[in-house]
């Protein structure tokens, strides 16, 4: 039914009279645009935050989430998907919100602790029970007959972490010889039969469709697959070297302001850093950054030799330009 | 390919045709392992192909959400973004007309003696039969950001080259929208009907008085589930039937327009569902200048009321009228000039009740307008008075092929297709319309002694009045000359429309117009053309007969998309 001015005026008048007589509680809608494998994390977190916010302010916060490949999600926000907060897979995708659309300030990464990454993760291998192909490290992925599942680095943040972890391993083993490293990556991608657009799609390919011998996965995604999607069917293999993945979060200032959600959006992200928020992250197999919670869940996460994006690749801007921009190393290798 | 692999693998795995016989007959276990590996490999390939198919479908579905859509339909051609928020359409209207006048010496296309521009009434020749392109209107319209519509329509028909519509709509709410630019002011019911949807070749006399198009801004909307619509607007202001240009206003006064229209039984399941009633009006103050060009509008009065045959039958005293009537024989270098010209001088209001009714294949539309216009004469603004003109019409339509009648166009149940023996939609139409000029418009008198009007201009005439004749005391028709203008026109029109399909229409109208109160030839030429005549009185009412009836057949071939 169409709203009319008269209707609006009437409702406004009624509300204006009735408002003081009722509780000041209001419904607040918040949109979190996130990357692929965070569905379970934010399902749990949103419930906890809603309860927290209700206690604190009396308002009912309803958090909606959108999931997809991190790069695609960033583009969607730039194109007008009015997210109040963005919780993406890597800092480069969040940078795009500033560079392409000026939706957030340049210093967005300094607004929260740990470079605005409340939790971390890394890249591990998920193999089928018994590890029939005997996969132990990155060089096993280049062998003939090994089928590797990873999403497309052009669209997936997780895939870019996979790619860079493999690159870092090859560099270490090839003494920094970039030509050999490219050959290594080339062989690895020749073993990839299908490229999904996001990490969750690759999990579906490997777990549900039964394709491939090994899935290059977020650690949290690998745990989820092993413990909840296919109990007893998979094993996690931790390579000798991987990469410290730091998924960042930010308030999308322009849209949050437009919706009048600045305060609740900020609180939502800050709640990720609280003990309760960190517990939820850890239970969903993300590595917590709060020391007390990290200690509590220390046994859950295997010890891995982790390289850092800033130290190994000069930060995400440089890594993106060299490897994933049009004509970058991925294009050179994958088009061969 | 996917099917072949799948079928092959299924056969291998489930039937055991290969594996069991081999197990039975081959002792070579390595060969068995190879076969198992082959089956697994084929199984993987099948799954990969299937998964690629899934991904491809997902990507196609995702692309549909973002790829623009190309559209082509009877509503035009266009491009639309996947979310529908950005739209651009190309539409068009072409009307090729024929006019045949079977009687009436009513030619208005000739230039008067001594005048450089056509537009005065020649009572010696019939209006010309002609073919013409009445409307040639390409239209570019669209939407940006989901709520902002735009429309741009130029006109190349009827010898024109001008902008017809150029406006922007902001649809802030169904109940509150804003329109700004050049557009049809929300006043006349018949005028608001699209030029491609009107049921007759020409609109009625009501549209001679109400504004055509103006430049300004309006707020409008629908409330109560669309049963009540309203519009209020402020515009530069136009003369009767006027089409404002896109340049700035000639004066600072503005015209205000308002309209309400109700369809109270809109959603009811009864015979009143198609009933709509409304009322509209305009109000403004306008003062014309005494400068005049033939058919010009600087007097801020109508350039002429026209018949359905588009022949001018009434106009206020301007230079063309002076030359053809009261100043007959005057050379271009002389004449009463500005001293006798009529112009708008004060308030102008229009009041227009209106109604429409549609029931099944039947349609009815009726509208009335009464205008009050303050006018005066000459540079000294003498003889100021208020003239009241009115017009009304009632028109009925019947779609004999059974389609539902509506305010908009007709969509035939079956498009015309000779091979299939389907004949499109056929409609019979009939209308009565009349326009009446205020009696006071034909007041015979003089400006009055002592009003300061000098005889200078008059004395330059080739046939200057003898002796002491003074311009201010010479009797003449003050506002409208019955030799050049009729007091009323009454028109019957009948016609048939053939809708070949929603885009193509053929129309044929027969109209007969009877004029009263002058507008015809002189029965004698008392005082006219007589050099050095004694100009105490110019041409008198008794010397003028009624304008001859106009009978015309009008035909149209129309394409609108």
Q: What is the residue-wise DSSP string for B209-247?
A: HS--BEEEEEEEEEETTTTEEEEEEEE----TT-B--SS
Rounded alpha-carbon distances, angstroms, from residue B302 to A307, B197, B203, B251, B515: 85, 26, 17, 17, 19
The verdict on A10 touching B (C-beta cutoff 8 Å) is no
Segment (H or E) for A164: helix A157-173
How many domains, in total, are found in chain B?
Answer: 2
Please enumerate in sequence order all residues whose Cβ is within 8 A of that of B487, keeping only pairs 6 or more positions apart, or say none: B314, B436, B437, B439, B441, B442, B515, B516, B517, B518, B519
Q: Which residue has the higher pLDDT, B456 or B227?
A: B227
Whether residue A330 contacts residue A151, with contact meaning beta carbons closer than 8 Å, is answered with: no
Q: Are residues B45 and B106 in the same domain?
A: no
The verdict on B84 touching A (C-beta cutoff 8 Å) is no
Q: Are residues B47 and B90 in the same domain?
A: no
Chain B CB contacts of A147 below 8 Å? 44
The verdict on A209 touching B (C-beta cutoff 8 Å) is yes
Assess whether pLDDT exceeds 90 at residue A9.
no
pLDDT per residue over B24-54, tens digit each? 555 578 888 888 888 988 998 899 999 899 8
**Interface probe with A: pick from B37, B42, B55, most Cβ of A within 10 Å:** B55
Please enumerate in sequence order all residues whose Cβ is within 8 A of that of B169, keeping only pairs 6 or more positions apart, or say none: B148, B149, B150, B151, B177, B178, B179
| Confidence label for B83 from pLDDT (cuts 50, 70 and 90) | confident
Please enumerate in sequence order all residues whose Cβ is within 8 A of that of B4, keeping only pairs 6 or more positions apart, or say none: none
The verdict on A122 touching B (C-beta cutoff 8 Å) is no
Q: What is the residue-wise DSSP string for B86-148?
A: SEEEEEEEEEEEEEEEEE---B--SBPTT-SSB-S-BTTSPPPPEEEEEEEEEEEEEEETTTE
Of A6, A197, A209, the CB nearest to B51: A209
Q: How far B55 CA sits from the closest chain A CA (Å)?
A: 7
Chain B CB contacts of A193 below 8 Å? 44, 48
Structural domain boundaries enclosing B32:
2-65
CA distance B535 to B530: 10
Q: Are residues B59 and B89 in the same domain?
A: no
Contact A197 B222 (CB under 8 A): no
The verdict on B404 touching A (C-beta cutoff 8 Å) is no
Number of alpha carbons in the 13 Å side-chain half-sphere of residue B292: 30
Q: Are residues B399 and B375 in the same domain?
A: yes
pLDDT per residue over B354-383, tens digit each? 999 999 999 999 999 999 999 988 777 888
CA distance A69 to A82: 17
Whether residue A126 contacts residue A222, with contact meaning beta carbons closer than 8 Å, is answered with: yes
Q: Are residues B310 and B392 in the same domain?
A: yes
Q: Are residues B39 and B79 in the same domain?
A: no
End-to-end CA distance of chain B: 45
pLDDT of residue B521: 56
Of B47, B59, B223, the CB nearest to A211: B47
| 3-state DSSP percent of chain B in helix, strand and coil, to 5 | 15, 40, 40
Q: Are residues B48 and B182 in the same domain?
A: no
pLDDT of residue B359: 95
Please enumerate in sequence order all residues whose Cβ is within 8 A of that of B356, keeping only pairs 6 or more positions apart, or say none: B189, B274, B275, B276, B363, B364, B365, B366, B407
Mean pLDDT of B85-102: 92
pLDDT per residue over B138-172, tens digit each? 999 999 988 999 999 999 988 888 999 999 999 99
Contact A1 B225 (CB under 8 A): yes
Q: Which residue of B has its CA nearest to A76?
A: B66
Q: Are residues B44 and B100 in the same domain?
A: no
| Nearest of A295, A120, A293 to residue A218 by alpha carbon | A120
| Confidence label for B481 from pLDDT (cuts 50, 70 and 90) | confident
Whether residue B478 contacts residue B443, with contact meaning beta carbons closer than 8 Å, is answered with: yes
The verdict on A201 touching B (C-beta cutoff 8 Å) is yes
Lowest mean pLDDT among A170-179, A235-244, B215-224, B482-491: B482-491
User: Which of B42, B65, B88 lies at the terminal end of a domain, its last residue?
Assistant: B65
Q: Which residue of B has its CA nearest to A6?
A: B223
The verdict on A196 touching B (C-beta cutoff 8 Å) is yes
Contact A197 B58 (CB under 8 A): yes
Helix (H, G, I), strand (E, B) or coil at A91: helix
> The complex's ipTM?
0.72
Q: How far B150 CA sits from the closest chain A CA (Å)?
A: 22
User: Which of B50, B65, B80 lies at the terminal end of a domain, its last residue?
Assistant: B65
Q: Are residues B6 and B147 in the same domain?
A: no
Distance of CA A193 to the CA centre of its chain: 24
Assess whether pLDDT exceeds 50 at residue A330.
yes
pLDDT of residue B374: 94
Chain B CB contacts of A197 below 8 Å? 55, 58-59
Say if strands B214-223 and B228-235 run parallel, antiparallel, or are unpaired.
antiparallel
Q: Which residue of A has its CA nearest to B42?
A: A211
Chain B CB contacts of A6 below 8 Å? 175, 223-224
Chain B CB contacts of A1 below 8 Å? 225
For residue A15, is it left (φ>0), alpha (ψ between -120 and 50) or beta?
alpha
Chain A CB contacts of B144 below 8 Å? none
The verdict on A6 touching B (C-beta cutoff 8 Å) is yes
The count of CB pairs under 8 A between chains A and B is: 48
Q: Which domains does chain A have, with CATH numbers?
A: 5-120+246-300 (3.40.190.10), 123-244+305-334 (3.40.190.10)
Segment (H or E) for A96: helix A91-101
B30 secondary structure, DSSP code: H
The verdict on A193 touching B (C-beta cutoff 8 Å) is yes
Q: How far B355 CA sits from the closest chain A CA (Å)?
A: 24
CA distance B296 to B305: 13
Assess whether pLDDT exceeds 60 at residue B344.
yes
Q: Six-digit token pair at B312?
A: 């001018």
Q: Which residue of A has its CA nearest to B220?
A: A5
Q: Are residues B61 and B169 in the same domain?
A: no
CATH number at residue B100: 2.40.160.10
pLDDT of residue A96: 94
The verdict on B51 touching A (C-beta cutoff 8 Å) is yes
Q: Are residues B217 and B247 in the same domain?
A: yes
Q: Are residues B19 and B133 in the same domain?
A: no
Assess whether pLDDT exceeds 50 at residue A165.
yes
């Amino acid at each position: 039914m169409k709203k009319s001015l008269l209707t609006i005026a009437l409702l406004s008048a009624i509300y204006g009279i009735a408002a003081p007589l009722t509780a000041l509680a209001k419904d607040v809608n918040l949109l979190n645009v996130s990357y692929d494998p965070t569905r379970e994390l934010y399902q749990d977190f949103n419930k906890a935050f809603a309860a927290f916010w209700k206690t604190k302010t009396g308002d009912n916060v309803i958090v909606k989430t959108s999931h997809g490949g991190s790069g695609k999600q960033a583009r969607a926000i730039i194109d007008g998907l009015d997210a109040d907060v963005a919780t993406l897979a890597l800092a480069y995708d969040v940078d795009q919100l500033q560079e392409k659309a000026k939706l957030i300030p340049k210093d967005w990464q300094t607004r929260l602790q740990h470079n605005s990454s409340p939790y971390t993760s890394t890249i591990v291998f998920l193999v089928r029970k018994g590890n029939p192909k005997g996969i132990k490290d990155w060089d096993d992925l280049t062998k003939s007959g090994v089928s590797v599942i990873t999403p497309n680095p052009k669209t997936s943040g997780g895939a870019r972490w996979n790619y860079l972890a493999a690159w870092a391993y090859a560099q270490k083993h090839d003494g920094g010889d970039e030509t050999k490293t490219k050959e290594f990556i080339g062989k690895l991608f020749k073993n990839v039969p299908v490229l999904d657009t996001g990490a969750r799609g690759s999990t579906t390919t490997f777990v549900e469709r039964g394709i491939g011998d090994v899935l290059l996965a977020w650690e949290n995604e690998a745990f989820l697959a092993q413990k909840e999607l296919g109990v007893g069917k998979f094993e996690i293999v931790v390579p000798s070297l991987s990469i410290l993945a730091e998924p960042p979060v930010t308030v999308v200032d322009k849209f949050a302001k437009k919706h009048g959600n600045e305060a609740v959006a900020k609180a939502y992200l800050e709640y990720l850093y609280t003990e309760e928020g960190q517990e939820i992250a850890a239970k969903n197999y993300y590595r917590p950054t709060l020391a007390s919670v990290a200690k509590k869940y220390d046994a859950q996460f295997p010890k891995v030799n982790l390289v850092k994006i800033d130290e190994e690749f000069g930060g995400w801007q440089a890594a993106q330009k060299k490897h994933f921009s049009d004509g970058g190393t991925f294009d050179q290798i994958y088009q061969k | 390919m996917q099917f072949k692999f799948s079928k092959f693998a299924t056969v291998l795995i489930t039937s055991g045709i290969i594996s069991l016989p081999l197990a039975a007959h081959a002792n070579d276990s390595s060969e068995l392992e190879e076969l198992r590996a082959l089956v697994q490999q084929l199984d993987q390939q099948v799954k990969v192909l299937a998964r690629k198919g899934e991904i491809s479908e997902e990507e196609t579905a995702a692309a549909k959400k973002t790829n623009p859509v190309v559209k082509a339909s009877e509503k035009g051609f266009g491009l639309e973004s996947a979310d529908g928020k950005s739209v651009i359409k190309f539409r068009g209207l072409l009307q090729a007309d024929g006019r045949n006048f079977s009687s009436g010496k009513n030619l208005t296309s000739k230039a008067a003696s001594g005048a450089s521009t056509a537009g005065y009434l020649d009572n010696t020749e019939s209006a010309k039969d002609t073919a013409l392109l009445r409307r040639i209107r390409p239209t570019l319209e669209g939407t940006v950001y989901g709520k902002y519509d735009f429309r741009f329509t130029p006109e190349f028909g009827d010898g024109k080259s001008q902008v017809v519509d150029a406006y922007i709509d902001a649809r802030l709410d169904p109940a509150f929208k804003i329109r700004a630019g050049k557009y049809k002011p929300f006043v006349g019911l018949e005028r608001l009907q699209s030029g491609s949807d009107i049921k007759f070749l020409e609109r009625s006399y009501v549209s001679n008085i109400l504004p055509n198009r103006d430049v300004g801004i309006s707020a409008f909307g629908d409330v109560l589930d669309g049963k009540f619509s309203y519009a209020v607007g402020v515009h530069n202001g136009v003369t009767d039937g006027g089409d404002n240009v896109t340049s700035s206003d000639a004066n600072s006064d503005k015209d205000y327009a308002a309209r309400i229209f109700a369809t109270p039984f809109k959603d009811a399941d009864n015979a009143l569902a198609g009933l709509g009633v409304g009322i509209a009006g305009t109000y403004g103050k306008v003062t014309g200048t005494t400068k005049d060009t033939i058919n010009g509008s600087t007097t801020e009065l109508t350039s002429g009321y026209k018949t359905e045959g588009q022949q001018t039958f009434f106009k206020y005293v301007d230079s063309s009228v002076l030359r053809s009537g009261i100043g007959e024989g005057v050379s271009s270098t002389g004449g009463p000039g500005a001293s006798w010209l009529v112009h708008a001088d004060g308030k102008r209001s229009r009041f227009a009740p209106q109604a429409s009714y549609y029931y099944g294949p039947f349609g009815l539309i009726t509208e009335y307008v009464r205008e009050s216009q303050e006018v005066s004469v000459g540079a000294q603004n003498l003889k100021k008075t208020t003239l009241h003109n009115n017009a009304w019409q009632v028109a009925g339509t019947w779609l004999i092929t059974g389609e539902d009648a509506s305010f908009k166009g007709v969509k035939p149940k079956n498009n015309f297709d000779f091979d299939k023996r389907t004949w499109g939609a056929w409609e019979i139409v009939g209308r009565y319309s009349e326009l009446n000029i205020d009696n006071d418009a034909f007041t015979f008198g003089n400006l009055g002694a002592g009003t300061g009007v000098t005889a200078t201009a008059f004395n330059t005439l080739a046939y200057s009045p003898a002796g002491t004749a003074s311009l201010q005391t010479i009797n003449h028709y003050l506002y409208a000359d019955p030799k050049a203008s009729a007091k009323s026109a009454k028109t019957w029109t009948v016609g048939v429309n053939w809708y070949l399909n929603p885009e193509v229409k053929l129309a044929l109208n027969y109209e007969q117009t009877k004029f009263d109160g002058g507008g015809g030839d002189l029965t004698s030429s008392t005082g006219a053309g007589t050099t050095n005549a004694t100009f105490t009185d110019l041409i008198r009412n008794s010397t003028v007969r009624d304008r001859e009836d106009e009978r015309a057949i009008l035909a149209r071939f129309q394409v609108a998309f």
